[in-house]
């Protein structure tokens, strides 16, 4: 499982930057918005889902 963080002027920008770091798409990651500050957004993306039985 890989985890990256990214910041941007909007949530969409931060998500796109993190997706580029993972070389992945939105449907293959979990997205968590960590901080919606006044100057930007901090987003965590985790690639690789765990399954339980």
Q: pLDDT tens for residues 39-48? A: 666 777 777 6
- Whole-prediction pTM value? 0.73
Rounded distance between C-alpha atoms, residue 30 and residue 38, angstroms: 24
C-alpha 32: how far from chain center: 6
Two tokens, residue 9: 């002027």
Residue 16: what pLDDT?
93
| CA 45-48-52 angle, 5° bins | 120
């Amino acid at each position: 499982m890989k985890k990256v963080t990214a910041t941007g002027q909007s949530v969409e920008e931060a998500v796109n930057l993190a997706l580029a770091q993972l070389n992945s798409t939105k449907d293959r990651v979990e997205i968590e918005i960590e901080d919606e500050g006044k100057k930007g957004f901090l987003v965590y993306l985790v690639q690789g889902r765990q399954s339980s039985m």
